């Protein structure tokens, strides 16, 4: 715990049509000059995060942010300040970005970010690279179902229960379908977890059985601090919670990791962008 006063900051992850995000280099005369970060700035009195994001983009880059959606909130202690960073994402703006504060900037692929990067922005890189559309495999006929639903573009898979025992075989077949990450649930033993790209801690499973550095847990707005400290990569949302509901908005108000829905079946991730979800998980 700390008694340092928090500074509230809006940070904007602007994403272009090629999936690149805009990063700016702090100009001379500012703290951490020469370091790269996402554009944004402090909230003014009575300002919402969305209002601050629009104002900062106008002041820093001369653009009109058309819309933005909440994504994650990170708390970071720098020597000079403790900041609560409210990251929003935006795919729509009017105008061409210009340097209005003497800063260098550019659009960069998550695999090609400039350095040095401010520490608080580092988690964003791995989140931008995560799969958006997961399939949780609980059925022996899952492969047939996946082959008939190729248009859905699944890019992540979670093997559950006994199917984990056949991990090597499943991996070959799933990768042939274009799935780039293959996880297991937390019933997997240590050796099985080592083979996987991550561990999905499902309902009723114990996170303490996880040895993998990449894992996901159930979203819990009463335990965001604990989830942040655990190092979880993302959180899945109870299927009873609907987007735009009060329960969803509570989750999204201070979540330290991206959220994945478990109760939708859609073909286009763009439908989730206005709601703040990073992606979704379908069960087969």
In DSSP notation, 41-57 reads EEPPTT--HHHHHHHHH
Alpha helices (H) in 119-252, listed in sequence order: 122-128, 142-147, 167-176, 190-195, 224-230, 246-252
- Give the pLDDT confidence of 177-236 residue by residue, as tens digits: 999 999 999 999 999 999 999 999 999 999 999 999 999 999 999 999 999 999 999 999
Same fold, 6-122 and 133-283: no
What are the boundaries of each domain within the chain? Answer: 6-122, 133-283
Q: What integer pLDDT is reported at residue 2 of this predicted model? A: 60
- What is this structure's pTM? 0.96
Contact 227, 220 (CB under 8 A): yes
Residues 6+ apart with CB under 8 A from 129: 110, 111
Model confidence at 51: pLDDT above 70 = yes
Torsion angle of alpha carbons 201, 135, 133, 192, nearest 10°? Answer: 50
Between CA 98 and CA 195 the distance in angstroms is 46
Homologous superfamily, domain 6-122: Nucleoside Triphosphate Pyrophosphohydrolase (3.90.79.10)
Contact 63, 97 (CB under 8 A): yes
Residue 172 CB neighbours (<10 A):
9
CATH of domain 133-283: 3.20.20.60
Between CA 247 and CA 228 the distance in angstroms is 19
């Amino acid at each position: 715990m700390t008694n340092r006063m928090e500074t509230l900051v809006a940070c904007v992850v602007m994403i272009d049509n090629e999936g690149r995000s805009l990063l700016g280099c702090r100009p001379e005369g500012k703290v951490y000059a020469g370091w790269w970060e996402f554009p944004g700035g402090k909230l003014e009195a009575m300002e919402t995060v969305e209002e601050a994001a629009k104002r900062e983009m106008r002041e820093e880059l001369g653009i009109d942010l058309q819309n933005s959606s909440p994504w994650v909130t990170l708390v970071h202690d720098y020597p000079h300040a403790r900041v609560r960073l409210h990251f929003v994402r935006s795919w729509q703006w009017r105008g061409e970005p210009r340097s209005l504060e003497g800063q260098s900037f550019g659009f960069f692929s998550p695999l090609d970010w400039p350095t040095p990067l401010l520490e608080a922005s580092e988690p964003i890189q791995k989140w931008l690279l995560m799969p958006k559309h997961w399939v949780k495999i609980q059925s022996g006929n899952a492969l047939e179902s996946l082959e008939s639903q190729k248009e859905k573009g699944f890019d992540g898979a979670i093997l559950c229960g006994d199917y984990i025992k056949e991990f090597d075989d499943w991996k070959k077949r799933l990768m042939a379908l274009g799935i780039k990450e293959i996880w297991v649930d937390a019933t997997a033993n240590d050796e099985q977890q080592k083979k996987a790209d991550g561990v999905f801690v499902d309902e009723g499973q114990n996170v303490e059985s996880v040895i993998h550095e990449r894992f996901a847990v159930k979203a819990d707005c009463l335990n965001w601090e604990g989830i942040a400290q655990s190092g979880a990569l993302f959180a899945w949302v109870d299927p009873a919670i609907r987007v735009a509901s009060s329960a969803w908005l509570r989750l999204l108000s201070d979540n330290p990791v991206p959220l994945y829905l478990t109760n939708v079946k859609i073909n286009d991730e763009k439908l989730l962008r206005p709601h703040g979800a990073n992606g979704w998980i379908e069960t087969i």
